Structure 1
Amino acid sequence: MRLDWSLIRTILAHVEAETIKEFLEDADSISQWKEGQLLSERLESRQNPAQVVVLRHIKLLSSANYVENIEIKESADGFFSFAYEGEPSLTFEGYSLLESLRTDNFIGKLKKYAKEKGVPLTIENVIELAKIALPALIKMD
């Protein structure tokens, strides 16, 4: 699976708007997230591949402390499930990441900047690069 920054922004926005439960329950709205992902063929038979992509992204955001109160579990046979431990919410870091991702064409500009500097686009690097490069990125065309 590749990291999808548009999906990360969408997930964070749904958590902020308190609509993440509806987003996860609406299979039609998440079907678009399968596009362009490398998914094992065995996943096709067990679970909606788009749902797997979304839940893996939420798992990453949760383990990095950007969202809280959403628990994602993966069974031994690769089936993903989720449960709420309370009302899903963003952490302070989650709000910071969402605000960075909302900046016009931020990810496109950040990808260009990271490529020029030879830096991979991990979640942690996005936050750090945003702090360092945001003024320059906003001015770039």
Structure 2
Amino acid sequence: MRRDWDIMRSVLLEVEALDVKQTEEFVFFQPYSSGDPEADRARHALMLEEMGYLKGIKYQTLSEGRYLKSPELTMPGADLLDTIREKKMWEKIKEVSKERGVGIAFDTLKGLAGLAATALMT
């Protein structure tokens, strides 16, 4: 599976928008075999959880798939979302990444955001 930053951004925005009651009931579900777009969102949510940007109750079954229940942003997740929240800034980060020939990775995102912010101000 290819990492898709647009999906990860939308997952972070979705989790941030959940109220307390919605958070308690919300589940990302990744079936073992599915081409469903919701399965892709769940895979990306689980990646974000593995990197420490989301927290929640993670479990899997032998027959169905993997779950992330009651997802919440962590402090690093909130910081990441602050960097990529605004659509204009996010589009500029992707543009700068493409111009420089640098892939967007967790480690390079802050640097790309700095370059993008500078480009937007000039």
TM (normalized to structure 1)?
0.64
Pair 5,109 (structure 1): closer, same or farther in 2 beyond 3 Å: same
Corresponding position: 1:126 with 2:113: no
Q: Which residue is equivalent to 2:120? A: 138
CA contact (8 A) 2:52 2:77 kept: yes
Match runs of 1:53-132 below 5 Å: 53-71=40-58, 73=60, 80-84=65-69, 87-130=70-113, 132=114
| Greater helix fraction, Structure 1 or Structure 2 | 1
C-alpha RMSD of the superposition: 3.0
1:55–1:72 CA contact under 8 A, matched in 2: no
Corresponding residue SS for 2:94: helix
| Cα 1:114–1:49 shift into 2, 3 Å | same
Deviation at 1:51, TM superposition (A): 2.7
CA apart distance, 1:103:
1.9
Per the TM alignment, residue 117 of structure 1 is displaced from its structure 2 partner at its CA by: 2.3
Shift of residue 14, structure 1, vs aligned partner: 2.0
Higher relative contact order (Cα pairs below 8 Å, separated by 6+ residues): 2
- Give ranges in structure 1 of 5+ residues lacking alignment: 26-41
**TM-score, normalisation: structure 2:** 0.71
Q: How many angstroms does 1:48 deviate by?
A: 5.4
- Name the % identity: 25
- 5+ long unaligned stretches in structure 2: none
2:92–2:116: 8 Å Cα contact kept in structure 1? no
Query: Which amino acid in the other structure matches residue 135 of structure 1?
Result: A
Q: CA deviation at 1:50?
A: 1.8
